[in-house]
Structure 1
């Protein structure tokens, strides 16, 4: 497959009336500063008919007038604090074409592979906060590669932006409008740090640079496996996870599947029984804070739960043991925890020179895992005028142990899990992935 670049340019917002000042800026919140400092890339695939590139671009220019943060740049204020410059410098917009059909270029429903990197601009050294690449195929299909800087917005906010983009492209008013006020997370006058945050969300710079050591061949030998879990399997899994010592504690599908994957990956890795393993799980704070924050809030509002266990306990205890650990850890990330974090991050981080533990420089999370759930994001609603995408997925992201859960492209409620593993662990994982003990 050879991709031909047709054009590359900067696309800026277009306003219906007088444009706003381009000298304004907004500060990053404690939730922006604690998240991953990198671009996250996602891939959409559309069957014909698809809208022309000019219509897609025009809709983008209009929606950027409401989501000005994406058209801005990262910078610092006079005190050295990180900010978003609302300078309307624009986003990168790339048009490409391929001299074959989509099925010829990407058979097997977009199997996770380095080939996906061809469908979006590079994630390294990016000044723009959003990049979009349109790739046209001879069959009339369209692939859209979208990358966005995570410091600006979390997955919930990004999906809202994408839905707004699709609405504008179809001539529909943006609904709902984003809430841009990032000043709502002020610390309390008398800080109350009720929980331990150092070592979880933040750590010292010295500790943060200590990574597990692997042979170079191991690091290069990471493959991303897509595991499909149908509705029947998920129902059985949830039932088994929820049966514990005679009590019927009903765990969610997400909790049950995450518990299963935690145990399965741990067993496939062949970890020593006395080792400790943990899972990093994103928790959306919008409905957990009191007063609650509207879903329209644009920015980052995520912390993490960190359930952990000794390997021998995780593998020898039944599935409900892991499900309970996950459920209880998520439940603890409540209003008190979020407010404790705001107080801690506002006063302690700069003072003690702490850095986020959310680090994309790690090539392997072994013996730990991270599970990012995109199950509730309306990514499939990105209808730009020719219908919904038939495939949506993350780009190729080979960090061992960092898993993504997505609604399957089958669109029947089933789930696809994208699981990066060392090649020598993949055989064992496939053998036990659908085993229910």
Structure 2
């Protein structure tokens, strides 16, 4: 039997750097980072992207010049990216560390000026859209659709804080963004993506470079009133010494679709079991996933299992911070119970525990967290988050992901890179059909994924997409 040919690989065609089309005023060239940004330094870049089919005319052989179309498309992307970076100029910068001697400490900030800019990559892959979407599990080649593979945010001292990669397929294109997580969270990431699409569409209709955004970012960083910054980090040697590079074990990544009706059913049952109407749709869905993944882990009932949910703090501060705040305003909220309690007491009980954790998360706790962090800085580490007893629900189906079109119409799918994945990581995205439906990207070990897929309770709620 002849050996199988190797799977196709992504080919780099070209890359360049893109700067904002307008020069920065001197007062905006240095940006100090508050605790919620600094805590992200040891974890990976955010990597998310959208898969678009090419227009039908690009696939016809009747004289259409596809190379000319792709060239024009890339030039429009570069032009609109330069215009977008004028609004989000920190993303064209690099991280900078300043050593202080009295006391011996470091401060990390964004140098918005001394940088070649954001990176823009054009690549190609000899596969089709169907080749990527038809397999049950996300193909490993998707990781190659993103720059900064396995880079951590501290690497932003040398690497671009933003990198856009456009991968050309046989019948589609994938636009993947890698953004330094110390500069912004998921809300910030999608605000940038939405703004880039908005400017692209506006420039398609005219020749202007300056576009007034419908939701301009707020770049002024939030600090506690009693500590306006900069924040000192008490590291005695090389500031990279506190970093721990994390390699995830072998994972299977699969998308599961939950329709609006399926989620309504989970919510209704959870509230019925608790005799309340306060438990949200996402809390009900998270409780369902937490219980089923924990059951698939086949661990002892006496062990403690934790579920982490990402809380957006913008609206929880007093006074609240606008949704357009560009930076990190996210906290992982931990709910911990024994495995026996979680599996024996039912989905309503689990959802109520999650609801209580969210309800207790308020401005007083947030300010206390910041004050304590400044006195004793500590970082998020993927190695500490990874535990066979833990489930982490990240991202949000509230983000506007499918509103980014770039003149190609609506994307057919969303995919992510290697960054910040481990056994038990779940990311929530809006379903492509909208209406409150949700897609969950679940990362599990092969053994655990096989048990989850055989779980009748879990799969009954999953809807064929």
Q: Distance in 1 between matches of 2:373 and 2:276?
A: 39
Partner of 2:237: none
Asked whether 1:135 is paired with 2:190, we answer no
Alpha-carbon distance in structure 1 between the residues aligned to 2:160 and 2:383: 20
Instruction: Tell me the equivalent position of 2:10.
Output: 3
CA 69–58 in structure 1, closer or farther in 2 if over 3 Å, else same: same
Provide the secondary structure at the position in 2 that maps to 1:106.
Answer: helix
Q: Is the 8 A contact 2:224 2:371 kept in 1?
A: no
1:97 CA drift (Å): 2.2
CA distance in 2, matches of 1:417, 1:124: 22
Q: CA deviation at 1:347?
A: 2.1
> Partner residue of 2:375?
347
- For residues 227-261 of structure 1, give each alpha carbon's deviation from its aligned partner in whole angstroms, at most 9, with x where no partner exists: 2222222111111111135x223311110010011
Aligned equivalents of 2:451 and 2:335: distance in 1?
24
Equivalents in 1 of 2:135, 2:449: separation in Å? 20
* Count of residue pairs brought into register by the alignment: 402
Aligned partners of 1:134 and 1:144 also within 8 Å: yes
Asked if 1:419 corresponds to 2:408, the answer is no
Partner Cα separation in structure 2 for residue 326 and residue 181 of structure 1: 32
> Aligned match of 1:101 in 103, 121, 128?
128
- SS of the residue corresponding to residue 434 of structure 1 reads helix
Q: Which residue in 2 is equivalent to 1:173?
A: 212
Distance in 1, Cα, partners of 2:142 & 2:136: 8
Partners of 1:310 and 1:150 in 2: CA distance? 32
Instruction: Structure 1 unaligned segments of length 5 or more: list them.
Output: 190-204, 350-354
CA deviation after TM superposition for structure 1 residue 96, in Å: 1.4
1:323 maps to: 351
4+ runs of 1 displaced by more than 6 Å?
none
Mapped pair 1:383 → 2:383: no
Candidates 126, 144, 148, aligned match of 1:118: 144
The aligned counterpart of 2:75 is: 54
- Cα distance in 1 for residues equivalent to 2:328 and 2:179: 13
Shift of 1:25: 1.1
Q: TM-score by structure 1 length?
A: 0.85
Q: Deviations over 1:286-337 (max 9, x none)?
A: 1111101011111001112111101111110021111011001011111111
Return the offset for 1:108.
1.4
Query: What is the aligned-residue RMSD (CA, Å)?
Result: 2.6
For 1:300, the equivalent position in structure 2 comes to: 328
Cα deviation, 1:49-86, whole Å, max 9, x if unaligned, reads 38710001100011111111100001123532110111
Q: Counterpart of 2:107?
A: 81
Taking structure 2 as the reference length, the TM-score comes to 0.80
Are the aligned partners of 1:10 and 1:90 in contact in 2 as well (CA < 8 Å)? yes
Matched-pair contact (CA < 8 Å) for 1:44–1:391 = yes
Unaligned residue ranges in structure 2 (runs of 5+): 1-7, 56-69, 101-105, 203-210, 229-240
Contact kept, 8 Å, 2:137 with 2:252, in 1: the verdict is: no
